[in-house]
């Protein structure tokens, strides 16, 4: 049955997660993300899934990883202060390769900051928030519909690559309402983690398989093995062998790099002949699109690169636009985070002009338009 719904970004994300087969949610309330927990608290018990409110975000993330190891498709949702607390366990999920989805509905400022004001200040935290070298996958939707579809994609990516996937939703997208069509079951492909098929006795949980991703069994399925946050070899047991440690850390990053064709997503808008390009993500991309349309109407050769996946950083479309653009404008609701990546990729081939706001006010189309 096809359905249309008028939903908030946060609710659409929850719907998308359920569509993807999410059957476990553990969380701790925090604005502006709580609607996701509330939606899941209502829906999951009715679908034989599990919802639990934990004592804090560290515990939520631990429960999510535990549930995923027991075979659940698990997620949590939070905002800046909680996202900081989750970092230790996000690293645990990276090194132990446990699929899970983490939503960070971004608020303004460090610490408690501005709980209900929009910002995009957690971009670098999504990349490097947990310590040590590790792969990061982060997605920043800019519409309610994208919240739904990217939720499905987030679960698919996390299951396939066995890595946490982070959703960076800004407060505007999280709370804004738009009409969306909920696809029919089966309309979007749902990917589930691969299961091992070795005999129980020969089983090496961390032996890389397709694309360097191991087939780790779910607990309780007949296999018997060990999982640790210590550096480990294919058997899953800790190792101090520099060769094995090096292999592990490199494989983790490489498995995500190898999947970039599938993981990366962006939209190009009027970029073909653009002499000035705007690079934007999240709610800011909406202002940017409007500004680009206005400038085109005024006869200017401008275009927009809207990033949907932000980590790994989509290098290809940026390199392409740098072939003809002389000016690249990066509006962000932070003091300049993605702009650093843009500068790195463009390597001086075009002028890079940041537009930054950290007062929890949206960046308006006008503010972008004057730079075009």
Partner 1 sequence: MAFDYSKYLRNDKMPHIWCPGCGNGIAMKSLIRAIDALGYKKEETVIISGIGCSGRISGYLDFNTLHTTHGRPLTFATGIKLANPKLNVIVVSGDGDCAAIGGNHFIHACRRNIDITLIIFNNYIYGMTGGQHSPTTPSGSYSTTTPHRNIDPQFDLSKLAIGAGATFVARETTYNIFALDKVVIEAFKHKGFSVVEVMVGCPIYYGRKNGFKSAFSLLDWQRKNAIRMERAQSMKPEELEGKFTTGILHRREVPEYTQLYYTLTESFEKSVDKVSMERE
Burial class (CB in 10 A: 0-12, 13-18, 19+), 283: buried
Query: Can you tell me whether residue 101 is helix, strand or coil?
Result: strand
Can you tell me the distance from the alpha carbon of 55 to that of 58, in angstroms, rounded to the nearest whole number? Answer: 8
Can you tell me the distance from the alpha carbon of 308 to that of 262, in angstroms, rounded to the nearest whole number? Answer: 12
- 88 lies in the site for partner 1, by CB under 8 A: yes
Distance of closest approach, residue 102 Cβ to partner 1, in angstroms: 14
Restricted to residues 202-231, the positions that interact with partner 1 (CB under 8 A) are 219-230
Restricted to residues 254-313, the positions that interact with partner 1 (CB under 8 A) are none
Of 34, 68, 125, 142, the residue at the interface with partner 1 (CB under 8 A) is: 68
User: In the complex with partner 1, which residue's Cβ is closer, 69 or 256?
Assistant: 69
Q: What are phi and psi of 340, to 5 degrees?
A: -65, -40
Q: Which residue has the tokens 């303004």?
A: 108
Of 21, 38, 50, 188, the residue at the interface with partner 1 (CB under 8 A) is: 50
- 131 lies in the site for partner 1, by CB under 8 A: no
DSSP conformation letters of 193-220: -----S-GGG--TT-B-GGG-B-PPPTT
Q: What are phi and psi of 46, to 5 degrees?
A: -75, -15
Can you tell me the distance from the alpha carbon of 135 to that of 166, in angstroms, rounded to the nearest whole number? Answer: 11
Of 38, 41, 54, 268, the residue at the interface with partner 1 (CB under 8 A) is: 54
Of 16, 27, 62, 259, the residue at the interface with partner 1 (CB under 8 A) is: 62
Of 1, 199, 323, 370, the residue at the interface with partner 1 (CB under 8 A) is: 1
Can you tell me the distance from the alpha carbon of 319 to that of 350, in angstroms, rounded to the nearest whole number? Answer: 11
User: In the complex with partner 1, which residue's Cβ is closer, 12 or 279?
Assistant: 12
Q: How many CB atoms lie within 10 A of CB 132?
A: 11
Q: How many CB atoms lie within 10 A of CB 240?
A: 8
User: In the complex with partner 1, which residue's Cβ is closer, 54 or 204?
Assistant: 54
The first and second tokens of residue 73, run together, are 């498709």
User: In the complex with partner 1, which residue's Cβ is closer, 46 or 243?
Assistant: 46
Q: CB under 8 A: which stretch of 68-76, 134-142, 265-273, 344-352 binds partner 1?
A: 68-76
Restricted to residues 145-204, the positions that interact with partner 1 (CB under 8 A) are none
The continuous run of DSSP H or E covering 6 comes out as: strand 3-8
Of 21, 31, 38, 71, the residue at the interface with partner 1 (CB under 8 A) is: 71
- 61 lies in the site for partner 1, by CB under 8 A: yes
Binding site residues, partner 1, CB under 8 A: 1, 3, 5, 24, 26, 42-43, 45-50, 52, 54-56, 58-72, 74, 88-89, 92, 219-230, 237-238
């Amino acid at each position: 049955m096809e359905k249309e719904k008028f939903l908030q970004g946060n609710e659409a994300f929850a719907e998308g997660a359920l569509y993807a087969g999410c059957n476990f949610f553990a969380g701790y309330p925090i604005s502006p993300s709580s609607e996701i927990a509330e939606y899941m608290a209502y829906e999951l018990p009715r679908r034989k899934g599990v919802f639990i409110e934990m004592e804090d975000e560290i515990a939520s993330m631990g429960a999510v990883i535990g549930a995923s190891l027991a075979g659940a498709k698990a997620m949590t949702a939070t905002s800046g202060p909680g996202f900081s607390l989750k970092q230790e366990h996000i690293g645990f999920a990276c090194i132990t390769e446990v699929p899970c989805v983490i939503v960070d509905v971004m608020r303004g400022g460090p610490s408690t900051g501005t709980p209900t004001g929009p910002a995009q200040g957690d971009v670098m935290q999504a990349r490097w928030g947990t310590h040590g070298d590790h792969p990061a996958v982060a997605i920043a939707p800019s519409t309610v519909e994208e919240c739904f579809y990217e939720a499905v994609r987030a679960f698919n990516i996390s299951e396939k690559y066995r890595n946490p996937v982070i959703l960076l939703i800004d407060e505007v997208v999280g709370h804004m309402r738009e009409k969306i069509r909920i696809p029919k079951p089966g309309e979007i492909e749902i990917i589930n983690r691969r299961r091992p098929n070795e005999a129980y006795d020969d089983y090496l949980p961390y032996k890389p398989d397709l694309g360097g991703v191991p087939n780790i069994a779910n607990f309780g399925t007949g296999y018997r093995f060990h999982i640790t946050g210590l550096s480990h070899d294919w058997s899953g047991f800790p190792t101090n062998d520099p060769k094995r440690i090096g292999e592990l850390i490199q494989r983790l990053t490489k498995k995500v790099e190898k999947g970039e064709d599938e993981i990366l997503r962006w939209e190009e808008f009027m970029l073909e002949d653009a002499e000035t390009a705007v690079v934007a993500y999240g709610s800011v991309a909406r202002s940017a699109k409007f500004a680009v349309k206005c400038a085109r109407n005024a006869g200017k050769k401008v275009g927009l690169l809207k990033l949907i996946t932000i980590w790994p950083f989509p290098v290809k479309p940026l390199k392409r636009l740098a072939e003809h653009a002389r000016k690249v404008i990066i509006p962000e609701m932070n003091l300049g985070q993605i702009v650093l990546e843009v500068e790195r990729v463009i390597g001086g081939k075009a002028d890079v002009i940041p537009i930054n706001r950290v007062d929890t006010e949206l960046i308006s189309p006008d503010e972008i338009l004057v730079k075009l």
